[in-house]
Structure 1
Amino acid sequence: MFDRGRRNLLSRRRTPALPRMPWLVDEDTFVDNCTRCNKCLSACETKIIVKGDGGFPTIDFNQGECTFCTQCVDACPEPLFRSTTEAAWDVKARINQQCLAQSNVECRSCGDMCEVQAIRFKLQAGGVAQPELELDLCNGCGACVATCPTSAITMVTRKLEEK
């Protein structure tokens, strides 16, 4: 077996900017065993699985949200996924400084789209309510990303957050 860290250094590969599909075993297993057959792309009910670097499937939350329907898991002929009874992934939302509310412009589109209510708005005396993200509630569905008019919300994995 080869050292993936060394291979990534030499080929200038890095962890993908966009997360992979939910319930993946791990990145190494995925890259080694994914045949890029695109069955997961066809199966995705919200069409958020797109071709990424090297033709490998990745999630694009600008296209919509993950409904955790498991159709990508069911369509894949390779052993790339964990049990769907486990947590889907460690992807969480992050709101940056481009948020309209931080510029005193009323906008609650992300909170309206958040089904699990992980994004709530704290009222400000004499100002615009500010978004507060409760990471423990965020399931990483990405519904808030496409609806944000300033692209102030990104989805990050815990590994990328630590870097």
Structure 2
Amino acid sequence: MSDINQSRRRLFSRRKSNAIRPPWSRQDIEFTDICTRCDKCIQTCETKIIFKGDGGFPEVNFSIDECTFCQKCVEACPEPLFTATDDSPWQIAATINDTCLALNEIWCQSCKDACDPRAISFIPAIGKAPQPQIDTDICNGCGACVAPCPSHSITLLDKKKL
């Protein structure tokens, strides 16, 4: 294939977005093909975690607050972007990076205190601060652990990548 054809292919190929979309967003579609950017989900979000992201499409920012799974974004959307709300809201789970205070021998359990499903536990260790552990089977992806983390060490990732 010529260099020109490869350049064209790269120009018109879609980039897979790493954005976290609102809960219950369908995974079997290209979100940006169907979303009209009407902002109804943004306006109805009770915790204001949905914002206008790349290209004006809705994204979720857990550093603001958590998702309460109120389903208002689903109800407000006029497009077929969402699955049934009895399905799992996301296929994401919390992960802790190495800037975590507990991993650096400073006693902190802010994330555990914020986690209602109790997916985050701390394992006692001799001679050092208890070490965090996340049970990804219990984590519902609500993001409640993100904002309280003083070292910004928690992110939510696709469970398939964990």
Q: Report the TM-score, using the length of structure 1 for normalisation.
A: 0.88
List aligned pairs for 1:23-102, cutoff 5 A: 23-26=24-27, 28-102=29-103
Matching residue of 2:147 = 146
Q: In the alignment, is the contact (CA less than 8 A) between 1:101 and 1:107 conserved in 2? A: yes
Structure 1 residues not aligned, in runs of 5+? 1-6
Instruction: Give 1:145's aligned amino acid.
Output: V
Between 1:92-101 and 1:22-31, the stretch displaced more is 22-31
Shift of 1:101: 0.5
Alignment root-mean-square deviation, CA: 1.9
Tell me the distance in 2 between the aligned counterparts of 1:28 and 1:103.
41
Q: In the alignment, is the contact (CA less than 8 A) between 1:46 and 1:65 conserved in 2? A: yes
Structure 2 residues not aligned, in runs of 5+? 1-7
Flag the 1:38–1:138 CA change in 2: closer, same or farther, 3 A. same
Tell me the distance in 2 between the aligned counterparts of 1:141 and 1:11.
34
Tell me the distance in 2 between the aligned counterparts of 1:51 and 1:96.
27
Q: Secondary structure at the match of 2:128?
A: coil
Matching residue of 2:4 = none
Q: In the alignment, is the contact (CA less than 8 A) between 1:8 and 1:14 conserved in 2? A: no
Deviations 1:69-92 (A, max 9, x none): 100000001111110011111011
Flag the 1:11–1:153 CA change in 2: closer, same or farther, 3 A. farther
Q: In the alignment, is the contact (CA less than 8 A) between 2:25 and 2:82 conserved in 1? A: yes
Shift of 1:12: 6.7
Tell me the distance in 1 between the aligned counterparts of 2:102 and 2:19.
25
Q: In the alignment, is the contact (CA less than 8 A) between 1:120 and 1:132 conserved in 2? A: yes
Matching residue of 2:107 = 106
Q: Secondary structure at the match of 1:93?
A: strand
Matching residue of 2:120 = 119
Percentage of pairs with the same residue: 50
Q: Report the TM-score, using the length of structure 2 for normalisation.
A: 0.89
Instruction: Give 1:129's aligned amino acid.
Output: P
